[in-house]
Amino acid sequence: MTKNDSSKPTNFIHQIIEEDLKNGVNDGKVVTRFPPEPNGYLHIGHAKSICLNFGTALKYGGQCNLRFDDTNPEKESQEYIDSIVSDVRWLGFEWSGDIRYTSDYFDTLHEWALHLINEGKAYVDSLSAHEMREYRGTLTEPGKNSPYRDRSVEENLDLFEKMRAGAFDEGDCVLRAKIDMAAANINLRDPVIYRIRKAHHHQSGDKWCIYPSYDFAHGQSDALEGVTHSICTLEFEDHRPLYDWFVENLPVPAKPRQYEFARLNLNYTVTSKRKLKLLVDEQKVNGWNDPRMPTISGLRRRGYTPASIRNFCDMIGVTRSNGIVDMGMLEAAVREDLDANAPRAMCVLDPIKLTITNMPEGELAWFELPAHPKDEAMGIRKVPFTRNLLIEREDFAEVPPKKWKRLAPGEAVRLRGAYVIRCEEVVLDETGEVVELKASFDPQTHGANPTDYKPNGVIHWVSADNAVPCEVRAYERLFTEPNPDGDKERDFHEFINPESLVVYPRAHAEIGLKHAAVESRYQFERQGYFCVDPDTTENRMVFNRTVGLRDSWAKIQGK
């Protein structure tokens, strides 16, 4: 991506930065960071944060770091790190320098914890977790000082060293900043800055058995990296005074500032790694990259393009007011991109045999169709017309309703890009189900205006003799409720859509798609946008439906 893309919409963070630049703050530098915790795959909410952090650095010619916020080793893994790295790159962003880890700074953070102890601003507390909660007070009542709050510097240094050396068990004690147990902001009531975790760490191995808390690590890591604008979501607003307290009370090399924006909430899905992990662990979906998941890797597999996700993030903007964005907006973003860029093809999802009685067996006529109706540069595609064709079962009605625009007994339709045909015979099996249609074509009708054959409409088709048998997976929303997370009484599991995946095992795509690469995207005419799934093998192609041609969900909802 190019820098200084001033066509990108601006937002309140950019206004703050422009003000800073005008006043010469931070020597005119803009440094941001994207700080994922490697405890799950990234989701569409993270895409908003990625676009904001990397996009801001690009816009102002600054730098954006990728930093893994890895202070909870039990929940983290290399698999998550790898997936996050690959998702950020796929979205089209490149970080400044090497990948960074909060664990890179564990030595410095430990020194700074000692610094606070020496200054009388931190103490080892031996209250149990339960007692600590009791002493903390509530929103309306102040907290109480811990009986261990006045331990001497020497005792604290000794106990903290014992914590570090593994002399205590998890939960025996913690290191707390000594701030104010009566502070109105609960985050300032002597927050925990180090706790014991006897866990192997994916980066630092077994070097540490004490780990810094998020609050203690985050701002200091920002300072060490020279981050100027530390952008996070609104739930950290109440942590800002603590962020500032550490920056004020430690010998940090820079003074970063924290700014908060509203997180992205999307309807008909959940954007919480914890809940997404449950869906994966309980096998409600087929892994983190299941195309129904709102993860970046799920959207990718579903057929979303990086540009469509970036455009979506631009469309929703960056504000400080929480709201819920309609899934339809995300779908509209990919539809717009694929409408302009995806070549067209025909694919029959649920086929019914159509025999062209006046086309001799073994004969073949090639039709040339544009790959894209509005983009000649995409060239043409060749589609074979033969005696044995397939059309969509739902494009035929034995007893057509009024204003039927498709095929019916005795009626004529145009086969897209080819001839007009008239249905002359309907073959039923013993159960009365239609198994075959017989029709004749009028050779006059290709290109010319039909005279005798007045077609009802246009339907898609493929040659049964020359098509690619494939499986098509059509996805619906993962939840039936707009806000599956919003009902305190009911668990989000209750709203999982049992019909979120519909498989068409006998689909047939036009022959030109035979060697289509995994992830290549097409518009299947009259159907929607589809992409080649990685489950594709040499013998069997698999397509995913990214999105329909129109917002069919709005129609279902009666909007």
Which residues bind to ligand ATP, rule: CB under 6 A? 35-37, 45-46, 48-49, 69, 232-233, 263-264, 271-274
* From Mg ion, ligand ATP, none, interface partner of 264 (C-beta below 5 to 8 A by class): ligand ATP
Distance CA 100, CA 226 (A): 13
Measured in degrees and rounded to the nearest 5, phi and psi for residue 413 equal: -135, 160
**263 belongs to an annotated ligand binding site:** yes
Question: Long-range contacts made by residues 375-378, C-beta under 8 angstroms, separation at least 24?
Answer: 375/340, 378/343
What is the distance, to the nearest Å, from the Cα of residue 114 to the centroid of all Cα atoms in its chain?
A: 41
**200 belongs to an annotated ligand binding site:** no
* From Mg ion, ligand ATP, none, interface partner of 35 (C-beta below 5 to 8 A by class): ligand ATP
Distance CA 327, CA 548 (A): 13
> Does the annotation count 37 as an active-site position?
yes
**515 belongs to an annotated ligand binding site:** no
Between 159 and 264, CB nearer to ligand ATP: 264
Between 75 and 121, CB nearer to Mg ion: 75
Residue 501, H or E segment: strand 501-510
List all residues 6 or more positions away from 144 whose beta carbon is below 8 Å from its beta carbon: 135, 137, 181
Site of tokens 């000594």: 178
- Minimum Å distance from CB 37 to Mg ion? 5
Distance CA 256, CA 113 (A): 19
**148 belongs to an annotated ligand binding site:** no
**546 belongs to an annotated ligand binding site:** no
Nearest residue (beta carbon) to Mg ion: 37
- Minimum Å distance from CB 481 to ligand ATP? 18
> Does the annotation count 477 as an active-site position?
no
Nearest Cα residue to 156 out of 179, 132, 177: 177
Query: With contact defined as beta carbons under 8 Å apart, do 169 and 188 qualify?
Result: no
Site of tokens 């409600």: 284
Nearest Cα residue to 515 out of 543, 541, 545, 546: 541
**272 belongs to an annotated ligand binding site:** no
For residue 374, count other CB atoms closer than 10 A to its CB: 8
Between 128 and 319, CB nearer to ligand ATP: 319
Q: Would you give the DSSP letter of residue 444?
A: G
* From ligand ATP, Mg ion, none, interface partner of 46 (C-beta below 5 to 8 A by class): ligand ATP
Distance CA 431, CA 409 (A): 19
Between 37 and 535, CB nearer to Mg ion: 37
> Does the annotation count 454 as an active-site position?
no
- Minimum Å distance from CB 375 to ligand ATP? 35
Catalytic residue among 29, 37, 144, 162: 37
Between 27 and 281, CB nearer to ligand ATP: 281
- Minimum Å distance from CB 393 to ligand ATP? 41
Catalytic residue among 59, 178, 257, 273: 273
Catalytic residue among 8, 144, 149, 263: 263
- Minimum Å distance from CB 482 to Mg ion? 25
- Minimum Å distance from CB 48 to ligand ATP? 4
**48 belongs to an annotated ligand binding site:** yes
* From Mg ion, ligand ATP, none, interface partner of 550 (C-beta below 5 to 8 A by class): none
Residue 438, H or E segment: strand 434-442
Distance CA 154, CA 114 (A): 11
**233 belongs to an annotated ligand binding site:** yes
Distance CA 216, CA 281 (A): 31
Nearest residue (beta carbon) to ligand ATP: 45
Between 87 and 525, CB nearer to Mg ion: 87
List all residues 6 or more positions away from 481 whose beta carbon is below 8 Å from its beta carbon: 268, 487, 495
Q: Could you list the residues that contact Mg ion (CB under 5 A)?
A: 37
Catalytic residue set: 37, 263, 273
Binding-site residue numbers for ATP are: 37-39, 43-49, 233, 263-264
Binding-site residue numbers are: 37-39, 43-49, 69, 214, 233, 263-264
Binding-site residue numbers for L-glutamine are: 69, 214
